[in-house]
Structure 1
Amino acid sequence: MSRMSVSSENAEGFVQELLPLDDRASNDDTERNEDTESEEEQSRPPSIQHDRPKPSTAQKIGAYFVWELVTIVLSAGILIALVIILAARHNKPQPDWRYVSINSLISWMTTISRACILFSVSEALGQLKWVWFMQSERPIHGLRTFDEASRGPFGALGLIWALRGRHFAVLSSLAMILALGFDPFAQNLVLYHQGSIYNLTERAYTGDTSRYNAYGGPFEMDAFLVEPTLKSNVYNSLFSSDGDMPWSIPKYSCPSSNCTWDPVTSLEARMLCANITEFLVQSCHNVSETDSARLVNCTASLAQSEMQAWALLNYTKSSFHADKIRGLVAQAVEPSVALVYKNATRNAFQFIAPWEFKDFSGISVTRQVSIWEATECSFEPIVRRFQPSVRDNIYSDRTLAIWSDRALVQMNNTDDDKSTIGSISSSSSSQGGNDTEFEWQFRPPWATTPANKTFHYGLAAEKAVAKFLRILFSGYYWRNQTHEGYQPTAPDAALYASSDVLQTLDRGDLAGCRDPVSYQLSVPVKVNCSMQNVARAISKTFRDSDPLNPGNHDYPSSDYSDDSESGAGAGRVEVNVTFISVRWQWIALPVLVWVLGAVALAGAIWKTRRRGAPRWKNDPLPLLFLYQDESEDGRRGEGGERRRWVPNADLLKVKLGHT
C-alpha cells in the first residue's frame, strides 16, 4: 500500500495522511511498512538525513494573512480616497488636470481597489477550502469546486449552488460575482452638466453716475437747450418700434454672455402717472337728427386746467363714423393746477385720450358714455439702487430702493471740496445767481460707497429737461375723415418735434406699448407707456454720461475726474464650464463588495484558528501529494495484484487531520 507523508516547508510543520477509505482494512500492513521506512531513515548517515528547514520570512508573512490584510486595507483606503476626491469636486467645475482626467482617475482607483479586494477574496476562498475539509469527510471533487470559485464569477456561482448557500464561503463567492459591476458602477459616479463660474481675470462694467449737469447751447438768457444725446434717446423711445428697446439699455460691458453685479446706485429719472378719468366731465348731445341719421357731439374736459377734447359722431341706421375728432389733448400744467402730483418740481403733464369709438346705436344720447380717459404724469429725478445682470446677452436689472428727496444747493466753485452748501431750499428756482451755480442734491441713507455719498443734478440741466418735456407734451392732435393736423399750445413748440410726438401717440406703433389685455395699440395705453419709455431713455442718458466729458457746463473738468462720484459699476464675468455632480448611490456596490470581502477574510482567519487548519490558501503543492503514477506497484496482501491509486475520484473521500 502506497502512503503519502508531507513533511516540508510546504506543509509548514504539519504531517498529513490521505488514506482511501477502502484501504482502511490494511492498516496493519501499512504500519509495518512505516516502521520499516522509519528504521531505514534512522539507519542513514547524518549527512544524508533531511533536516526540516526553518520557515522563511515570506512563509511567516503568509501564515499570518499579512498580504491579505494589507490588500484589504489598501482597497478600503483607495475607496476612501476616491470618496474624498469626489466630495471635493462635487458641484465644482471639471478639473483641468494635465496628465489625467477625472474619469481616468476613477478608473485607475477602482481597478486597483477591485484587484486588491479580489486577491483577498480569492485567498479567503482557498483557505476556506481546507477548513471545509477539516470539518468532516468531504467528496474530493470539492477541491475543484473551491478552486474554480476562487478564479471567477462562474466558479463562484457553482460553489454557491454546491454549498446550497449554507457556508461562510458563500460570502466570498458573492463578492467575486458582484465584483463584475465594480467598474460600471464606479463610472456612473460622475455626472457632467453645464454651469457657470466667475472669470476672475476679466471684469464687467455698467454705467452709473452720481452727477449730471449736461445741457446744450443757450437759446435765451439763463436758459439752455437739452443736450443732443438726451434728445436723441427720448426721440428714439417715442418714434422707434424696435422691440429690443436699445434706447432704454444703459451702456455695459460683459465679455461673456452672462455677468452679474453687486447692487449699484445711480442718478436716474422716473415718470409717475395716475388715472384721473374720474375728474373728467363728459357729455354728449345731438347736434342734428333726421329720420336716417343723427349727429352727436361728445365732449370731455378737466375744469381746473381748462383742457377739452371732443368728437363729432355721425350715426346712421347701418353705419357709424367720427366726422371729426379732437382726440388727443396734452398740456403741461403748474403743480397748483395738478390733480394728483401737486408737489411736482416743475410741471405735471395731463392727457385726455380717446378709446376706440364704438357704435352707440340704441344708447340714449343724454346718457354719459365713458369714451375718454384722462392721465396725469409727473417727471422727477431720483436715486435708484438696483441689481443689474446680463443673461444670454440680455441686460436687465431689479430695483432695490428709490430715493427722491432732494435739496437745492448753491455751490462755491472756489472751495476745495468742489461744492459747499450755501443755502438749501425746497423751491423750484434759484435764490439769486444763475442756474449754473445751483444743483439738486440727493443723500440717500443707503448710499454707503462711500459713506454719505451725495448725488448731484445740476439746476441748468434740470430746467433744460423740464422745458424739453413741456414742449413735447403740450398741444392737441385732431383728425377727420380726410385730414389730420396738430395744434401746438407751447410758446416755443418749434424748438422740438412736439407735432411728431403727439402724432405718434395717436397713431404710431410704440415699442412695448400694446394693451396687455386686448393687445391693441389704444391711445390711453400708449400715453402711459410712452411716458415710462421717456423716463427710461433719460435714465440711460444719465448713466451713460461720461464723467470726464459731461458736456457743456461751467464746472471745471476736474469736478468729474473723481471715480468715487461717478463712473462705471464693476461686476463679475460668468463663463460656461462643465460641472461635476457625484451620484453617491453608485458607490454602494463597490462598498458592498469590499464589506463582503472583508467579512469573508475575517471569517477565514477565524475559522482557520478555530480548527487549527494549515494555512495553505491557494497553494497548489499540497494537492500534488494526491497524485500517484499508474505504473507504481500497489501490492496488497499475498496476491500482489496491481491497481490504480485512485480508481474513481468521485468515490474517494478524505479527511485532513494532524499526525
Structure 2
Amino acid sequence: MESSDHAERTERPRSDSVSSVHSHDHFIERLFIESENNLSRDVLPLRPLIEPIPDLTPESAAESVEGQKEEKKPTENISSTSTSTWFVLEGLAIVLSLLLLIAIIVTLSQFDGHPQPAWKYVSLNSVISWLSTISKACVLFVISEALGQLKWVWFTQKTQSLPDLGTFDRASRGLHFAVLGSLAVILALAFDPFTQNLVHYYSKLVTDVSQIATVSSSVLYNVIGLTIHSGAVWYVDPVFKANVYSSLLNNDKTKPWSIPQYTCSTGNCTWDPIATLELTSSCANITDHLKFVCYNDKEFIAGYGGPNCSVNLPGSPTSASFVFNKSDGYPVTVAAVKSTQAIVYKNPYHFATQMIAPDGLLLEGPFLPGKTKWQALECALIPTVRSVRTTVTNGTYHEESLATWTNITFQYEPSGPGYYLYPPWGPDMGMEHNQSFVLSSLSFVAMGWFFNSIFGGRAKLSSRFGVTFTSSADSYAGADIIEAIAYANITGCTANTAEKLQCVVENVAAAASKTFRDSVAPGYEPGNGTIVGQAKSSMTYVAVHWQWIALPAVVWLLGLATLIGTIWKTRRGSVPQWKNDLIPLLFLYKNEQDEGVPGERTDSLKVRLYKSDDRMVLGE
C-alpha cells in the first residue's frame, strides 16, 4: 500500500508541482537552479521522500500560468555564483568584529594608567559597551549564518535523521549548538560582562598647581629676647620659651609644639628633601657612675633619726640625698651641667643635663642603701642640620629623617660670630653645595641660660610636709619642670625612672626645632624661609585588567573558525548556499494528509539531500 501511494506521488503530473510554486519570486527560482547546478553529479539517486524541487525559470513559470504542461529546461545563460560571493556579508562582519575588538584594545590602552576622560556626552564605559555589543552582534551573525549553512552540508554528506533538520535550524537561532559554533554562542553570553570588567577605576593623588603647599625651614637662628644684665646676657625669645613649656606641660598627643608652620590647601602635600637647622637630643645611661655615701653626723642623726646619705656623680654637682631608712631627703634631682662636668657629652657646643632618681620615681620612702635602686641619665641638646622628607596626608603632618649633621665650628664672620655647620650634602638632601647653617652666638648663650633655669630643680620629701619642689636657680621654672617630670603626664613619656628625662629632652628638642624653622617663616606665603612643595588632589584614574579580553578574543576566534570551516565544507560538497533561508524548507514541505510523511515516522526517518536529474531532492 505504501508503494502504491508512492507510485501515485511520483506519477503526479509536473504541472501540479510547478503550479504549487509558480507564485514565488523569479529570483528565488534562479537561486535554486544555480544551487542545484553546483551539486556533484556522482551522487547515487535515492528514493525521494519529498517531491524534488523543480528547476524554475521565468519562461517555465509563464508557460505554467498559460496551462502548458510541457517541461522546460533550465536557462543555460544563468551563471553560477561562487561561494565567496555568498559569504561576503559574513566576511565583512567577522572583519568588522575584529576591528571593533582592536578599537576596544586601542582605546583602553590610551587611558590605562591615565585620568578618567571627562567627555561631555558619553563615558568610557559606554563607549566600550557599544563597541563590544556591535562586535558581539557581528560575530554572532557570522556564527548563525554558518550554522544555518552547515545543516545543508550535514544532509548532503550521508543520510541523517530527519529531526536533525529542526535541530540545526534551532541551533542557528538559540543556545543548543554543536562544537565550535555552539561553544562560541554560549561563551558570547559573557561577552558584555567580560568587556565591562576590563575597565576599573581607582583614586590617585596628582599634583595640583592651583593649590598651595609650603613649609618653614631655617638656615639661620639669631632671635633673642630682652637683655638681662646691661647687654651682657639675653633672655630667649618668648616664642622659644612658650614652645618649650608647651612641650613639657601640654599633654596634647598631636604635639602641635613640634610641627613647623606649613600650609597644605588640599590636605595632601609632598615636598622634596629639606635641610634645616634644628636641635636634636641624645641620652646615655650613667647609672654605673653613681657613688653612694652616708655621713654619720651625730647632730643630723639626732634631728632626723638616721644618717644622711647622698647619691653622686663624680665631678658633677648633680646629686640626690635621703635619710637612711626614712622618708626624708631630695630623692629626685635634675641639673644642667657644663661640658667639663658632663660624663658623656663633653662637647662645649652641647647643652648637657643630668638626672638622678630612684626606680619608679619613688617619692614616698623609706630609702635603704643596697635595697632601693637608683638610676642616672645624661642627655644633651645638640645643634644639628637635619635633612627631612615632609609629607601631609589627609591633613596629618609627617616627617622622615634622611640624615643629620652635628659637626660644629665657632667662627667670627662679618655677619656676627656664631656656630656654623657645613653638611657635605647637595640638592638631593635639600641644600646647595657648601651651604652653611648658623646658630648665632647670642641665641646660643640665651638658650644656655634658659636650659640652666628649667633643668635645675629638685623634689624634696619630708615626713612632716610631704613632697615639695624647689629650683636651684632664681627662676621658678626649675620647680615647675621637676614637678612635671615627677608627676605630670608629659606627652609621649611613659617611663617611671630617670629615663623619663630622655623623653623630656626629645620634646624640648622638637619644640626648639619648630621655633628655629618658624622664626624665618612668619607667614604662609612662599619665600622668606618657606619651602614650596606639591599640593596633591585626588583624581580618578583608569586601570585596565587585560585578562578579561581573553573571552571576547576566544569568541571571535571560534566565530572565524566556524566561518572558515563552513566555507570549506560548502565548497568541498558543492552545497547550495541556502544558509538560514526558509524558502527551500517551504519547497521541501508537504502536508501530511496529502502525500507527506506521517508524523509518527519522522523521528526515526533517515533522509539525505541530494541532486537527481538537476533537481534537489530530500529523500531516504
Task: Classify the TM-score, shorter chain.
Answer: 0.7 to 0.9
Q: 1:512 to 1:2 in 2, by over 3 A?
A: farther
Q: 2:448 aligns with which of 459, 466, 470?
A: 466
- The one-letter code matched in structure 2 to 1:352 is I
Return 456-465 or 441-450, whichever deviates more.
Answer: 441-450
Query: By how many angstroms is 1:446 displaced?
Result: 1.1
Aligned 8 A contact 1:139 1:652 in 2: yes
The aligned residue for residue 210 of structure 2 is 201
Aligned to 2:485: 505
Per the TM alignment, residue 539 of structure 1 is displaced from its structure 2 partner at its CA by: 0.3
Residues 1:62 and 1:219: Cα distance change in structure 2 (over 3 Å): same
Secondary structure of the residue that 1:224 maps to in structure 2?
A: coil
Give the aligned partner of residue 309 of structure 1: 320
CA gap of 1:533–1:652, structure 2 versus 1, over 3 A, is closer
Cα distance between partner residues in 2 of 1:69 and 1:530: 82
Task: Say whether the 8 Å CA contact 2:422–2:435 is kept in structure 1.
Answer: yes
Which of 244, 248, 251 aligns to 1:238? It is 248
* 8 Å CA contact 1:283, 1:368 repeated in 2: no
Deviates more, 1:203-212 or 1:135-144: 135-144
SS of the equivalent of 2:328 reads strand
Q: Which runs of 5+ in 2 are unaligned?
A: 1-11, 19-25, 55-59, 615-620
- Which residue number in structure 1 is paired with residue 130 of structure 2? 108
Looking at structure 2, the residues matched to 25 and 477 of structure 1 have their Cα atoms a distance apart, in angstroms, of 121
1:606 to 559, 568, 573: 568
Q: Evaluate the alpha carbon distance shift between residue 146 and residue 202 of structure 1 in structure 2; reply closer, same or farther with a 3 A threshold.
A: same
In structure 2, the residue matched to 1:644 is: 595
Match of 1:248 in 2: 258
Q: Which residue identity does 1:542 align to in structure 2?
A: F
- Determine if contact 2:83/2:571 at 8 Å carries over to the other structure: no
1:630 to 1:341, Cα distance in 2 relative to 1, 3 A: closer
2:211 partner amino acid: E
1:344–1:380 Cα contact (<8 Å) kept: no
Question: If the length of structure 1 is used for normalisation, what is the TM-score?
Answer: 0.76
- Cα distance in 2 between the residues matched to 1:216 and 1:336: 28
Partner of 1:424: none
Q: From the superposition, tell whether residues 171 and 61 of structure 1 become closer, same or farther in structure 2 (CA, over 3 Å).
A: closer
How does 1:2-21 map onto structure 2 within 5 Å?
A: 8-11=29-32, 13-15=34-36
Partner of 2:471: 488
Distance 1:61 1:441, change over 3 A: farther
Segment of structure 1 superposing worse, 381-390 or 175-184: 175-184
| 1:95 to 2:117 alignment | yes
Matched residue SS, 1:546: coil
Partner amino acid, structure 2, of 1:485: T
Aligned residue pair count = 564
Query: For each residue in 1:493-520, what CA deviation from the matched residue of structure 2 results, as whole angstroms up to 9, or x when unmatched?
Result: 33x62221222122222111013xxxxx
Partner amino acid, structure 1, of 2:582: P
Separation (CA, whole Å) in 2 of partners of 1:238 and 1:358: 20
Work out the percentage of aligned pairs sharing the same amino acid: 37
- 1:53 and 1:218 map into 2 onto residues whose CA distance is 123
Matching residue within 141, 147, 153 for 1:119: 141
Give the letter for the 1:570 counterpart.
V
- Judge conservation of contact 2:50–2:588 (CA < 8 Å) in 1: no
Change (3 A) 1:286 1:151: farther
What's the offset of the Cα at 1:645? 5.2
What is the RMSD computed on CA atoms of the aligned residues? 3.9
Aligned partners of 2:276 and 2:386 also within 8 Å: yes
Q: Distance in 1 between matches of 2:545 and 2:329?
A: 71
2:555 to 593, 599, 621: 593
Provide the C-alpha distance between the structure 2 equivalents of 1:629 and 1:125, rounded to a whole number of angstroms. 27
Match of 2:410? 408
State the match for 1:271 in structure 2. 281
Instruction: Spell out the pairing of 1:356-505 with structure 2 (5 A cutoff).
Output: 356=360, 357=362, 368-369=370-371, 371-412=373-414, 419=415, 437-448=416-427, 449-481=431-463, 482-490=465-473, 493-494=474-475, 497-505=477-485
Tell me which residue corresponds to 1:552. none
Change in CA separation of 1:624 and 1:268 when aligned onto 2, cut-off 3 Å? same
Would the alpha carbon gap of residues 206 and 126 (structure 1) be closer, same or farther in structure 2, given more than 3 Å must change? same
- Are the structure 2 counterparts of residues 404 and 53 from structure 1 closer, same or farther at C-alpha, using a change threshold of 3 Å? farther
* Corresponding residue for residue 226 of structure 2: 217
**Residue 152 of structure 2 contacts residue 609 of structure 2 at CA under 8 Å; is this kept in 1?**
no
Query: 1:133: Cα distance to partner?
Result: 1.8
| Letter of the 1:445 counterpart | P
Report the alpha carbon displacement of residue 377 of structure 1 after superposing the two structures with TM.
Answer: 1.9
The equivalent residue for 2:530 is 568
Contact conserved, 1:12 with 1:55, CA < 8 A, in 2? no
Per-residue deviation at 1:60? 7.0
- TM-score (normalizing by structure 2): 0.80
**1:299 maps to 2:282:** no
Equivalent runs, 1:129-140 vs 2, <5 Å? 129-140=151-162
| Cα distance in 2 between the residues matched to 1:463 and 1:12 | 116
SS in 2 for 1:470: helix
* CA–CA separation in structure 1 for the residues paired with 2:50 and 2:424: 112
Maintained 8 Å contact 1:140/1:652: yes
